[in-house]
């Protein structure tokens, strides 16, 4: 009894509390509700054993999933021949300063909105130059729709890709981020880095050609500051994968020194 009490207390007293750092989980759960593009099989989990063996409790399951579902990474090889597959992406390229580009106002009047160079300039005016190896993510407000299939794909016929509507990146903006700001990852809170009405996927092609991974269906962006976080992206190390579900999260100081100082006065 005493030992299990100590164990549960040590779970509450976590290390990040002591660091005065906030952690925001940027991934949705991977499960039967996970959304995939048409043509992908659904996620399936199977219980292999859940019960008492006679000696002890034992749980073990298996799951089957397509690579590109829910909160996931696109490896550069997804849309570009000869580029990095999932296991080849260096971890150093999957950790970087978070740059959250809020385009909710623009998306409110146009669900096919494409994030522009002007939107990045506006972010830079407000904050600073986009740092090298940034993880730049569009916050269009679309995350509020997940996991509702109709709302997430912006159509009443989610089995028909030609009817999709949701915001994404403009190819020129992504090209600019890669060439002039040397960003490490580009992401969205929608199902695709290209907007829903795209047929040729120029953003996917641009990212792939530059060996820059993409992130799709990123969660909880309203809980992350536009500037000042570090984002960590941790996909499983799937050999030759073109993508995979990811656990990703942001960390940032709970309060800056001045705020803390003022509170103490
Ligand atoms: C998804 O959203 C639509 C439109 O608002 C709504 O009619 C439908 O009931 C929702 N589906 C679920 C499963 O919540």
pLDDT in tens, 101-130: 999 999 999 999 999 999 999 999 999 999
Cα gap 95→113, rounded to integer Å: 27
Residue with tokens 């800056």: 256
Considering only 18-32, 38-52, 195-209, which range has the smallest mean pLDDT?
18-32
Three-state DSSP class for 2? helix
pLDDT at 13: 66
pLDDT at 20: 84
Closest to 99 measured CA to CA, from 72, 126, 74, 130 = 130
pLDDT at 4: 55
Q: Is the pLDDT of residue 166 over 70?
A: yes
- Is the Cβ–Cβ distance between 86 and 235 less than 8 Å? yes
- Is the Cβ–Cβ distance between 198 and 231 less than 8 Å? no
Cα gap 66→72, rounded to integer Å: 11
Q: Is the pLDDT of residue 131 over 60?
A: yes
Nearest 10 degrees: Cα torsion 255, 258, 264, 265: -150
pLDDT at 15: 79
Considering only 57-66, 67-76, 189-198, 255-264, which range has the smallest mean pLDDT?
255-264
Distance from residue 256's CA to the centre of ligand 1 (Å):
40
Distance from residue 146's CA to the centre of ligand 1 (Å):
11
Q: Structural domain boundaries of the chain?
A: 18-39+67-264
Residue with CA closest to ligand 1 atom 10: 148
Q: What does the mean pLDDT of the chain come to?
A: 93
Q: Residue 198 is encoded by which pair of tokens?
A: 């795209």
Three-state DSSP class for 123? helix
Using a 6 Å CB cutoff, which residues line ligand 1? Answer: 148, 150-151
Residue with CA closest to ligand 1 atom 5: 151
pLDDT at 8: 52
Ligand 1 mutation target, pool 150, 155, 165, most atoms within 8 A of CB: 150
Cis omega (within 30 of 0) for bond into 147: yes
Which has more confidence, 202 or 15? Answer: 202
The ligand 1 atom at the shortest distance from the C-alpha of residue 151 is 2
pLDDT at 18: 78
Ligand 1 mutation target, pool 147, 148, 165, most atoms within 8 A of CB: 148
Distance from residue 67's CA to the centre of ligand 1 (Å):
26
Distance from residue 152's CA to the centre of ligand 1 (Å):
10
Residue with CA closest to ligand 1 atom 12: 148
Cα gap 207→169, rounded to integer Å: 11
Distance from residue 24's CA to the centre of ligand 1 (Å):
27
Q: Is the pLDDT of residue 263 over 80?
A: no
Topology at the third CATH level for domain 18-39+67-264:
Glucose Oxidase; domain 1 (3.50.30)
Angle, CA of 185, 191 and 192, to the nearest 5°: 50
Q: Is the pLDDT of residue 5 over 90?
A: no
- Is the Cβ–Cβ distance between 218 and 99 less than 8 Å? no
Three-state DSSP class for 231? strand
Three-state DSSP class for 6? helix
Q: Quote the strand ranges of 174-242, DSSP E.
A: 185-187, 214-216, 229-235
pLDDT at 259: 52
- Is the Cβ–Cβ distance between 244 and 238 less than 8 Å? yes
pLDDT at 17: 76
The ligand 1 atom at the shortest distance from the C-alpha of residue 149 is 1
């Amino acid at each position: 009894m005493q030992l299990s009490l100590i164990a549960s207390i040590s779970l509450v007293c976590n290390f990040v509390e002591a660091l005065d750092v906030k952690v925001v989980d940027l991934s949705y759960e991977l499960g039967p509700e996970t959304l995939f593009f048409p043509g992908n099989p659904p996620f399936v989990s199977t219980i292999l054993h859940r019960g008492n063996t006679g000696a002890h409790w034992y749980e073990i399951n298996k799951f089957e999933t397509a690579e590109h579902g829910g909160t996931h990474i696109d490896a550069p090889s997804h849309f570009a021949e000869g580029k990095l597959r999932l296991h080849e992406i260096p971890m150093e390229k999957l950790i970087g300063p978070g740059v959250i580009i809020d385009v909710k106002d623009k998306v409110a009047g146009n669900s096919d909105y494409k994030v522009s160079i002007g939107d990045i300039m506006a972010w830079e005016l407000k904050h600073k130059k986009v740092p090298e190896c940034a993880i730049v993510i569009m916050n269009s407000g679309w995350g509020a729709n997940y996991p509702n299939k109709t709302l997430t794909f912006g159509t009443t016929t989610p089995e028909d890709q030609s009817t999709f509507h949701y915001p994404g990146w403009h190819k020129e903006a992504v090209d600019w981020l890669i060439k002039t700001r040397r960003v490490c990852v580009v992401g969205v809170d929608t199902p695709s880095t290209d907007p829903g009405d795209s047929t040729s996927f120029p953003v996917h092609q641009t990212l792939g050609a530059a060996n820059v991974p993409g992130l799709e269906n990123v969660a909880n962006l309203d809980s992350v500051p536009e500037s000042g976080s570090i984002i960590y992206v941790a996909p499983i190390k799937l050999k030759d994968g073109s993508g995979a579900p990811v656990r990703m999260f942001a960390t940032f100081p709970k309060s800056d020194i001045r705020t803390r100082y003022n509170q103490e006065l």
